[in-house]
Amino acid sequence: MTSPRTASGAPLPVVLAGARGHGRWHVANIRRLEAEGRVRLAGICELTPLTEDEFGGGLPEQSADFGALLDSTGARIAVICTPIPTHTDLALAAAERGVHLLLEKPPAPSYAEFRRMADGVAAAGVACQIGFQSLGSHAVPAIRELVAEGAVGRTAGIGGAGAWVRDEDYFRRAPWAGRRRLDGADVIDGALTNPLAHAVATALALGDSSRAEDVTGIETELLRANDIESDDTSCVRVTTARGGPVTVAATLCAERAGEPYVLVHGTSGRITFWYKQDRVLLQRADHGPEELEFGRTDLLENLVGHLTDGAPLLVPPDRTGAFMKVVEAIRQAPDPAPLPAGAWHRVPGENRRVVPGVDGLVAAAADTLSLYSELGAPWARPAGHLPKESKEPKESKGPKGVSTR
């Protein structure tokens, strides 16, 4: 795909869809690049307009009609940070206008919707970056180089662990939060598909298994302690064409918040990557442990560089195909099983539910590449396997308005 170049030094006009919630991070990031003269925030799309106090200064043009805002601002880039079910239609609305994209993760709630988005974007000839910020870490290519050099021997598998704390209000922050479906549309807002999606995508990337065709099988165990539709305590094991399993365990009901990480198991060592910190620990036979820290390339900055200087995109849609196969397996799996009342308790004064012992189970899953049921968790049920057939996407007219993630 070739993208039209922009004259050197001319800031690219950007429209942000979804400026509240996580969208505030995008506002700050756009402002950073604006100060460097690389972009200009030309418009904000929200159903309820932002106030100047809320925005923290003079506002750009605002509209609830995404397409009209792209037209009126002459946007070159759209940053889409809206509810998961809106991603495909908004991305295609931008693509048909020749507007390039930074699309928040997960890119779609089903594999069919992902293909509709990715194929439409490719046909339109626009650039699309998927917002897995961890894949902008310079640690990712460095670890892959270490693995290719045999620094830890032959790769036996890759584990991922995410033990996070979320209170019950987290699942009420938006109508779609904690839902598998809403008004007949897929949402699939679970621990592995949204808050800890980076653990899954990063583990697949380190295993050089990012594309859909790299996946040969998927097992899932989906459970919930909270009164929600989606999973808040879950694990997945992906069998890849390269042979080694990729097992990721996650919970939003940890006893203590932990730093998520990905673990490369080698026959003569291991590599631990704390992906939010860009920090790596290399442990190998006949060597002392080595701690390494890396920089990171911002994905919007990379997209701008792609459009102005021809820099390769770091996270185009095809490099998230394997992750979307995981989303699809979770979508097709039976609804998450509620944990029995004795398996969790509320933390006094914190309005959150905790699953005792789950922190250790998450770590053990990453360490042994096992599922919860294989580790003897009394509340886990045997793994579900990816069905062979996917449901076809429903016809959609495409929403004009958006709301905040």
Domain end call among 90, 113, 134 = 134
* pLDDT tens readout for residues 16-25: 999 999 999 9
Characterise 247 by phi-psi region: left (phi > 0), alpha (psi -120 to 50), beta (else): beta
Residue 396 lies in a domain: no
129 and 276 inside one domain: no
Residue 74 lies in a domain: yes
63 and 153 inside one domain: no
Q: How confident is the model at residue 236, as a pLDDT?
A: 98
Q: How confident is the model at residue 392, as a pLDDT?
A: 38
Tell the burial category of 316 from Cβ atoms under 10 Å away from its Cβ (0-12, 13-18, 19+). middle
Residue 358 domain boundaries: 137-295+318-385
46 and 124 inside one domain: yes
Residue 401 lies in a domain: no
Residue 151 lies in a domain: yes
Cα 300 to chain centroid, rounded: 15
CA gap 34, 19 in Å, rounded: 16
Q: Which residues of the chain have pLDDT under 50?
A: 1-6, 387-405
User: What's the token pair of residue 328?
Assistant: 């699809």
Residue 311 lies in a domain: no
213 and 359 inside one domain: yes
> Which pTM was predicted?
0.93
Domain end call among 114, 134, 154 = 134
111 and 217 inside one domain: no
Q: How confident is the model at residue 386, as a pLDDT?
A: 54
Domain end call among 101, 134, 167 = 134
Q: How confident is the model at residue 8, as a pLDDT?
A: 57
113 and 223 inside one domain: no
Q: How confident is the model at residue 244, as a pLDDT?
A: 87
37 and 179 inside one domain: no
376 and 233 inside one domain: yes
Residue 5 lies in a domain: no
> Cβ–Cβ contacts within 10 Å for residue 4, how many?
11
CA angle 261–266–267, rounded 5-degree value: 150
220 and 106 inside one domain: no
Q: How confident is the model at residue 382, as a pLDDT?
A: 75
276 and 334 inside one domain: yes
Q: How confident is the model at residue 383, as a pLDDT?
A: 73
Compute the CA torsion angle 31, 33, 38, 43 (nearest 10 deg).
-30
Does residue 262 contact residue 254 with C-beta atoms inside 8 Å? no
CA gap 40, 50 in Å, rounded: 18
Residue 177 lies in a domain: yes
Q: How confident is the model at residue 123, as a pLDDT?
A: 98
Is cis: bond before 289, omega within 30 of 0?
no
Is cis: bond before 106, omega within 30 of 0?
yes
CATH of the domain at 274: 3.30.360.10
CA gap 402, 47 in Å, rounded: 6
124 and 234 inside one domain: no
* pLDDT tens readout for residues 200-258: 999 999 999 999 999 999 999 999 999 999 999 999 999 999 988 999 999 999 999 99
Residue 99 lies in a domain: yes
Give the count of domains, the chain: 2
Which residues have CB under 8 Å from 48's CB, separation 6+? Answer: none
127 and 172 inside one domain: no
